[in-house]
């Protein structure tokens, strides 16, 4: 009985609710001239992997069908160690400065007074104060914010990665996982129905598909620039809040990610999973932006808090082969490296740090700016939203989210929407005026309707007649 008291561990501070599956990555194209990472070389090679899909803002008991950021984290078990690639369903992110991480979470998580999850005023206040965040916010308010399950969404690692080949020649890439199931979305009306009948819709859809043999797959591509391209473009290609402009890059296909096995135990294989964007392999030294540096620290720290210092010794997180000087601490400690020396360096063939001789000697320094550019938001509204029907649904969702917002924040939001695009601002303003008038009418009707004339805490006659807290022949021993 006492064991039950300790079954739970802290839930993730973000991306708490999710599911997972196992599968493999198969190389379909020769990309050796771009990177010598073993996982992406050798056409036909298959590498085992684990994935975790999640909603960003929901708690463990939350709903799957809400418009918000979603994650797809992939752990490749390569012969050179684990490669973790953490993705969102949007190709851009909310901010560049990692110090904003905690402010973002506070604004998008539960209100500290009411404990209500969706605080529309806080969310709009944050994104209008940090206007660069509105680009990602726009994606989540569009059809892309609520795909029809995890299987039918694309996934993007958001950063610009540096990669290099065996000659030390560098390229800069943005990886894209494109769903082979085809993208589709859930409308607001459909979401309202599903939320009341199957709040675990996303989890159930993925599990059932794999169990029935309909293995979901994603095509892995990389949009690529050379060092010369980086110097010649008229925008910052390392800015995670914007897209790369069409015509400034080439796209190369790498392979396919296939999920073909469900987890056997959710706690062991999903809850204990620890993904970190800092887990990289030779040939992929990773991004160079400031946000990535912060994420490496944040992810490691939260996993130490949630799973303990030895979280990398939990089976799901272990590489295929490893030797370390990490000893003792909170279990699991596994074999604890038995009687091997626990100091470096030593004379007993202990492990030595890996030195990649092929890695370029020069390091790229990125100078980042805090300037806000509204052009990517204008492009999103006029180009990414390809149809008038999609734009109309997008506007309706914005209006719905703005109705409960307090006047000062609301006025600021309308001002920025007009700066982004006059058509967008005008249509939102018109829709909002209608929605607010309807809300005022509903409130007036509610205020004019008298409440039932009943004594406080007295059950209705129907309840008293048809319901008994105790059988009639049982007395209340507390009387």
Give per-residue pLDDT as tens, 204-247. Answer: 999 999 999 999 999 999 999 999 999 999 999 999 999 999 99
The predicted model scores a pTM of 0.89
* Domain shared by 297 and 431, yes or no: no
* Domain shared by 205 and 279, yes or no: yes
* Domain shared by 125 and 200, yes or no: yes
Distance (Å, rounded) from C-alpha 202 to C-alpha 55? Answer: 10
- Looking at 294, 317, 340, the residue that finishes a domain is 317
Range of the domain at 431: 379-448
List, for residues 282-321, the tens digit of each pLDDT value. 999 999 999 999 999 999 999 999 999 889 889 999 999 8
Binding-site residues for heme, please? 299
Please check whether residue 107 lies inside any domain of the structure: yes
* Domain shared by 415 and 271, yes or no: no
CATH number where 299 lies: 2.40.180.10
Q: What percent of the chain has pLDDT over 70?
A: 92
List, for residues 373-430, the tens digit of each pLDDT value. 899 999 999 999 999 999 999 999 999 999 999 999 999 999 999 999 999 999 999 9
Half-sphere exposure of 411 (CA within 13 A, CB side): 2
CB distance 120 to 402 below 8 Å:
yes
Distance (Å, rounded) from C-alpha 155 to C-alpha 326? Answer: 34
Q: Phi-psi region for residue 213, left (φ > 0), alpha (ψ -120 to 50) or beta?
A: left
- Looking at 268, 299, 317, the residue that finishes a domain is 317
Distance (Å, rounded) from C-alpha 445 to C-alpha 448? Answer: 5
Read off the tokens for 272: 């204990």
Please check whether residue 24 lies inside any domain of the structure: yes
* Domain shared by 383 and 295, yes or no: no
Please check whether residue 469 lies inside any domain of the structure: no
* Domain shared by 310 and 407, yes or no: no
* Domain shared by 175 and 85, yes or no: yes
* Domain shared by 151 and 276, yes or no: yes
* Band of residue 364 on the pLDDT scale cut at 50, 70, 90: confident
| Pairing between β-strand 18-27 and β-strand 250-262 as defined by DSSP bridges | antiparallel
CA dist 370 to 25, 58, 157, Å?
Answer: 38, 30, 22
- Residue 454, pLDDT score: 62
* Cα–Cα nearest to 389, from 143, 107, 88, 32: 143
- Helix, strand or coil for residue 464? helix
CA dist 358 to 40, 285, 287, 355, 362, Å?
Answer: 16, 11, 18, 9, 12
CB distance 295 to 15 below 8 Å:
no
Please check whether residue 159 lies inside any domain of the structure: yes
Please check whether residue 364 lies inside any domain of the structure: no
List, for residues 72-118, the tens digit of each pLDDT value. 999 999 999 999 999 999 999 999 999 998 899 899 999 899 988 88
* Domain shared by 32 and 103, yes or no: yes
Please check whether residue 126 lies inside any domain of the structure: yes
* Band of residue 5 on the pLDDT scale cut at 50, 70, 90: confident
Per mean pLDDT, which range of 4-18, 348-362, 376-390, 451-465 is the poorest? 451-465
CB distance 404 to 440 below 8 Å:
no
Phi, psi of 298 (to 5 degrees): -60, -45
* Domain shared by 185 and 302, yes or no: yes
DSSP 8-state symbol, 419: H
Binding-site residues, please? 299
Please check whether residue 348 lies inside any domain of the structure: no
Please check whether residue 363 lies inside any domain of the structure: no
- Residue 464, pLDDT score: 42
Read off the tokens for 289: 């932006």
* Domain shared by 303 and 389, yes or no: no
CB distance 86 to 277 below 8 Å:
yes
Number of domains in the chain: 2
Task: Please check the confidence at residue 255 and state whether its pLDDT lies above 70.
Answer: yes
- How many Cβ atoms are within 10 Å of 131's Cβ, its own excluded? 18
* Domain shared by 437 and 306, yes or no: no
Location of structure tokens 């003792």: 328
């Amino acid at each position: 009985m006492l064991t039950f008291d300790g079954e739970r561990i802290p839930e993730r501070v973000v991306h708490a609710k999710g599911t997972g599956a196992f599968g493999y990555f198969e190389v379909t194209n020769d990309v050796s001239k771009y990177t010598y990472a073993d996982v992406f070389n050798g056409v036909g090679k298959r590498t085992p992997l684990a994935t975790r899909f999640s909603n960003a803002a929901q708690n463990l008991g939350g709903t799957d069908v809400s418009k918000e950021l979603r994650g797809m984290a992939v752990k490749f078990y390569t012969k050179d160690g684990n490669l973790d690639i953490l993705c969102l369903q949007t190709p851009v992110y909310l901010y560049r400065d990692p110090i904003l991480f905690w402010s973002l979470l506070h604004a998008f998580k539960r209100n500290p007074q009411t404990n209500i999850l969706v605080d529309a005023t806080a969310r709009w206040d944050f994104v209008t104060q940090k206007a660069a965040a509105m680009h990602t916010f726009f994606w989540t308010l569009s059809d892309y914010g609520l795909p029809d399950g995890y299987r039918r969404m694309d996934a993007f690692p958001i950063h610009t990665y540096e990669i290099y080949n065996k000659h030390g020649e560098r390229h800069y890439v943005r990886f894209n996982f494109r769903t082979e199931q085809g993208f589709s979305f859930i409308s607001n009306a459909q979401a309202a129905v599903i939320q009341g009948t199957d709040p675990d819709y996303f989890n159930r859809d993925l599990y059932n598909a794999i169990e029935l043999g309909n293995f979901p797959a994603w095509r892995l591509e990389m949009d690529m620039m050379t060092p010369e391209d980086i110097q010649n473009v008229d925008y910052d290609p390392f800015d995670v809040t914007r897209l790369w402009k069409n015509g400034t890059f080439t796209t190369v296909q790498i392979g396919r990610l296939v999920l073909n096995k469900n987890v056997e135990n959710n706690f062991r294989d999903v809850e204990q999973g620890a993904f970190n964007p800092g887990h990289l392999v030779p040939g992929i030294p990773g991004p160079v932006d400031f946000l990535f540096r912060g994420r490496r620290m944040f992810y490691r720290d939260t996993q130490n808090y949630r799973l303990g210092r030895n979280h990398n010794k939990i089976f799901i997180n272990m590489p295929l082969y490893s030797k370390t000087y990490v000893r003792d601490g909170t279990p699991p400690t596994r074999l604890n490296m038995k009687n091997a020396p626990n100091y470096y360096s030593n004379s007993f063939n202990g492990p030595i740090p890996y030195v990649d001789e092929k890695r370029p000697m020069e390091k790229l320094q990125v100078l980042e700016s805090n300037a806000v550019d509204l052009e990517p938001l204008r492009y999103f509204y006029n180009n990414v939203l390809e149809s008038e029907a999609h734009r109309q649904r997008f506007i309706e969702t914005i209006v719905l989210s703005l109705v409960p917002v307090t006047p000062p924040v609301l006025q600021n939001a309308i001002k920025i929407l007009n700066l982004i695009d006059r058509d967008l601002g005008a249509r939102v303003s018109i829709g909002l005026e209608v929605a607010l008038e309807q809300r005022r009418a509903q409130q007036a009707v509610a205020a004019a309707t008298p409440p039932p004339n009943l004594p406080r805490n007295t059950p209705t006659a129907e309840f008293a007649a048809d319901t008994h807290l105790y059988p009639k022949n049982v007395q209340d021993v507390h009387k």
